[in-house]
Structure 1
Amino acid sequence: MKLFFNLNRNCLALVVVLVFMSAIKTQAQQYPVYSQYIFNPLVINPAVAGSHVQVSATAMYRNQWVNFDGAPKTFSFSAHTSLLKNKIGVGMLVANDQIGSYNNNSVFGSYAFIIRSGMGTFSMGLQAGFNLTSADFSDLNLVDPGDASFSTFDNKFKPNFGAGVYYSNDLFFAGFSVPFILTNSVDLTDTEDLVNGVKEARYYYLHGGMMLPLSRMKTVVFNPAILVRAQEGQPLSMDLNAGFIFYDVFSVGASYRNVDAIVTYIQLKISDSLNFGYSYDWTSSDINQYSAGTHEFSLNYRFRIRKIHGNVECPSVFKF
């Protein structure tokens, strides 16, 4: 480990690629870790589709481990809405994830069947789509440019599907999901000994929280929440979140991620339709010697289509 962190920064991009390739032989982290799933839970659970009732579109950008060459950068766009008088939800998630010389593009659609009762709302969701994975090692300064382990490849097509459930009422919300059920093989190169046994990991997410008013007029609300990530072949990851919502306009909070970070976040309601979110991950692992932390931005826009949504009440922007 000391040898790894004593490498100069010019070698870090190559190190990231080598670590990624060696780790993926078992089952490395292959799906982006978002900090603002708190504001956009569709990125981890398809059953959330339609939970905002109106059309809810979110763009997110995550720059992980700033100043660390080859570190992950992720851009995603998601949108979802309810249909048929809030009986079903539909959504989509498009993402681009880059790490080192690797590039992964994904497109997934989601569907949720929504059941409403006096006790709350329960939904069951499915998602299906595909990943297109490619790699370009032309920028790496290789000792042996002809090394087959670094042969460039384009657009490996990998279909997948997932499922989830979600429940919410005025005080409580909880969900469980397996976004990617298939463990597709990952053909990184044509080198047989490299690709043997390489599989995509399966993920399990358990998340929940509460909305607890701290004042009679509900001008201040305490929002504790938890997310448990389980990835096959990897240690359990957990986020413990504590947030406060002021006057249904501004939210601020912090999260403890047991793996490698303390996260601070804010969300601001700019208008009735537009909301801005920002989070900063304070890296707590040894990578903090080379990284200036992680920035994540989100922009959410919501609007109602009268012919589709009618006069159905839409939840607050801070109601998950």
Structure 2
Amino acid sequence: MKIVKLLILLMVLNVVVIAQQRPHYTQYLQNMQVINPAVTGMFRALEIRGGVRNQWLGLESSPKTSYLTISTPINFDRDMLIAGSADYGVDEIGTRSDKNSYLSSENHHGLGATILNDQTGSFGRASINLTYAYHLALGDIANLSVGVGGGVGRISLHANELNFEDPFEPALAEGSTVKWIPDVNVGVYLYAHQFFLGASMQQVMKQKLVFNSNYEDGLEVSHYFINGGYRFWVTEDLSFTPSVMFKYIKPLPVGIDFNLRMSYRNNFWLGGSYRKKDSFSAIMGFTISKTLDAGYAYDITRSSLNAVSNGTHEIVIGLKL
């Protein structure tokens, strides 16, 4: 019975309670809000972005993630009325000449929401967070923002989907078990037309994950992220942006993502990513219209899972209104 309890614990925590509890994102540069609430309201538009990620395709009970983010800049006039989103935030530049006309945004607020659903076998996590950020102008070329996200998370275990040698295993009687927990994230972000630097912390409020008093307790752990990048112009229309992200989740060693993106006028981009001791990724995307863009990433794992997995697929679609 002790062995069975341990197996249940490992399934519940998955890589989850003892390690990675939040999903991986290969295209987080296309939607930084999923890891840092401080980018909420950064751009001069109402942005709606959605993504789906199927990890380790071909492997039974592999992680599947979907998410949706909403973000808009706002401000209040002297009468405390909300000003339009088109009056605040920054625009993405598409050519080297655009640098000369780039201006930082006036001080403003950002409001948004992040909705996440992550399922790995019988273990699931869903959350909804409202996000807020304040963007401070640092002269004419840069902004510094501070953000927070707060909401609730729903963690579920479907014990009846697990396989046991003993058909009378007590866990089967539990069926589906659900736990609701508070979810708080914070972050800071420094950005200009040519660089960005951010730091964030997810799962600020550590919560115990207790599904049944007969089983061991799990514990949520905080996730820490630091990332930055710099954009180099090769020609008037072509640019390269190398970037790096450091991720720390106790008790794991520090994880590092290296990224390189080549962009043509922000109309089309190609890139690659290397996640230390984990995977290689190929990334591509394009702008369909002034209001619509899409990106795709394919990950190849470097672990032994590569023998039974057909890789990881991720799609991100963005809408600017």
- Which amino acid letter does the alignment assign opposite residue 149 of structure 2? Q
Match of residue 102, structure 1, among 110, 115, 123: 123
For residues 174 and 80 of structure 1, the distance between their equivalents in structure 2, rounded to whole angstroms, comes to 19
Contact 1:50-1:82 at 8 Å conserved across structures: yes
Q: CA RMSD in A?
A: 1.9
Q: Percent identity?
A: 29
Give the alignment's TM-score, normalised by structure 1.
0.84
- Which amino acid letter does the alignment assign opposite residue 168 of structure 2? G
Contact 2:11-2:123 at 8 Å conserved across structures: no
Aligned residue number for residue 261 of structure 2: 243
Instruction: Give the 5 Å matches for 1:1-320.
Output: 19-21=10-12, 27-84=18-75, 85-86=87-88, 87-116=108-137, 117-149=139-171, 151-192=174-215, 194-195=216-217, 198-215=218-235, 217=236, 219-303=237-321
Contact 1:16-1:100 at 8 Å conserved across structures: no
Aligned residue number for residue 8 of structure 1: none
For residues 42 and 25 of structure 1, the distance between their equivalents in structure 2, rounded to whole angstroms, comes to 21
Listed one character per residue, the Cα deviations across residues 263-295 of structure 1 (whole Å, up to 9, x for unaligned) are: 110111011100011000111110101101100
1:242 partner SS: strand
5+ unaligned residues in a row in structure 2: which ranges? 1-5, 76-86, 89-107
Contact 1:126-1:164 at 8 Å conserved across structures: yes
Contact 2:46-2:320 at 8 Å conserved across structures: yes
2:28 partner SS: helix
Change (3 A) 1:269 1:125: same
- Which amino acid letter does the alignment assign opposite residue 52 of structure 2? Y
1:20 partner SS: helix
Give the alignment's TM-score, normalised by structure 2.
0.84
- Which amino acid letter does the alignment assign opposite residue 297 of structure 1? I
For residues 286 and 16 of structure 1, the distance between their equivalents in structure 2, rounded to whole angstroms, comes to 21
For residues 31 and 120 of structure 1, the distance between their equivalents in structure 2, rounded to whole angstroms, comes to 30
- Which amino acid letter does the alignment assign opposite residue 150 of structure 2? A
For residues 261 and 45 of structure 1, the distance between their equivalents in structure 2, rounded to whole angstroms, comes to 23
For residues 22 and 244 of structure 2, the distance between their equivalents in structure 1, rounded to whole angstroms, comes to 19
Query: Which deviates more, 15-24 or 27-36?
Result: 15-24
5+ unaligned residues in a row in structure 1: which ranges? 1-14, 304-320
1:138 partner SS: helix
For residues 199 and 16 of structure 2, the distance between their equivalents in structure 1, rounded to whole angstroms, comes to 27
Runs of 4+ aligned residues of structure 1 deviating over 4 Å after TM superposition are 15-18, 22-26
1:251 partner SS: strand
Aligned residue number for residue 92 of structure 2: none
For residues 209 and 273 of structure 2, the distance between their equivalents in structure 1, rounded to whole angstroms, comes to 33
Contact 2:177-2:211 at 8 Å conserved across structures: no
**Matched residue pairs, number?**
284
Change (3 A) 1:67 1:16: farther
Deviation at residue 153 of structure 1 after TM alignment: 3.5
Change (3 A) 1:25 1:38: closer
Deviation at residue 25 of structure 1 after TM alignment: 8.8
Contact 1:16-1:71 at 8 Å conserved across structures: no
For residues 282 and 10 of structure 2, the distance between their equivalents in structure 1, rounded to whole angstroms, comes to 28
For residues 23 and 147 of structure 2, the distance between their equivalents in structure 1, rounded to whole angstroms, comes to 21
Listed one character per residue, the Cα deviations across residues 70-95 of structure 1 (whole Å, up to 9, x for unaligned) are: 11000101110100153011111101
For residues 240 and 76 of structure 1, the distance between their equivalents in structure 2, rounded to whole angstroms, comes to 23
Listed one character per residue, the Cα deviations across residues 165-203 of structure 1 (whole Å, up to 9, x for unaligned) are: 0011111101000022011000132314x12xx210100
Query: Which deviates more, 131-140 or 81-90?
Result: 131-140
Change (3 A) 1:246 1:234: same
Change (3 A) 1:273 1:187: same
For residues 200 and 282 of structure 1, the distance between their equivalents in structure 2, rounded to whole angstroms, comes to 28
